Amino acid sequence: MARLILAIALLTLTACEFRPLYGSTNAVDEPDVTALLSQVSVRRIPDREGQILHNFLLDRLGGGRSGNFDLTTSMSISQRDLGTAADSTTTRSRVSVTANFTLSIGEETYRFTERSASSFSTVQSDYASLVAREDAVRRSLRDVADAARQRIAAILKRRFNV
């Protein structure tokens, strides 16, 4: 029974023209998406959080400062208090990261936005609250970089038909 369900699932994926995102199904001489991702040049992003996102993107794309495709990014980070104690002090906060990306491939440009949010607890110690906030921002930046990599891979796969 399990084999029958697996066979039907595989046939269904074949019928909808399922293709792997990071592998090449074409001829040997055509680049796969991973090779194309390494050709993305990630431009600098201002501020400390921008540097962190820049480094996450470099790690995920495998690229550098020179490549065939340019990725520019602008981002904003906002914080909202969620919980308050009886004495009106904040006990829980949420940071939201919004990054706007522009991928330039020759004369073509592709624009997309990625968002992520993380929450953290605030305590009486200012240092502990600051560290918790920085960790929440870093987690959100990591999520944005992961989502951007998938979006860029999909754009390159569709654009170069690999």
Higher-scoring residue by pLDDT: 31, 105: 105
Q: What mean pLDDT comes out for the span 38-43? A: 92
Q: What mean pLDDT comes out for the span 102-120? A: 95
Let me know the angle formed at the C-alpha of 44 by 40 and 46, rounded to the nearest 5 degrees. 150
- Cα separation values, 105 from 33, 51, 72, 137, 155, Å: 14, 23, 12, 30, 10
Q: What mean pLDDT comes out for the span 92-102? A: 96
- Give dist(CA 150, CA 160) in Å, integer: 15
Say if residues 114 and 142 touch (Cβ distance below 8 Å).
Answer: no
Which structure tokens are listed for 15?
């019928």
pTM for the full predicted model: 0.78
pLDDT tens by residue, 1-18: 767 677 676 666 655 555
Higher-scoring residue by pLDDT: 29, 73: 73
In CATH terms, 2-160 corresponds, of 1.10.2020.10, 3.30.160.150, 3.40.190.10, 3.40.50.2300, to 3.30.160.150
For residue 103, what pLDDT is reported? 96
For residue 47, what pLDDT is reported? 94
Q: What mean pLDDT comes out for the span 39-49? A: 93
* % of the chain with per-residue pLDDT over 70: 77
Instruction: With a cut of 70, say whether residue 150 has pLDDT above it.
Output: yes
Instruction: With a cut of 90, say whether residue 102 has pLDDT above it.
Output: yes
Instruction: With a cut of 60, say whether residue 36 has pLDDT above it.
Output: yes
Instruction: With a cut of 60, say whether residue 23 has pLDDT above it.
Output: no
For residue 28, what pLDDT is reported? 45
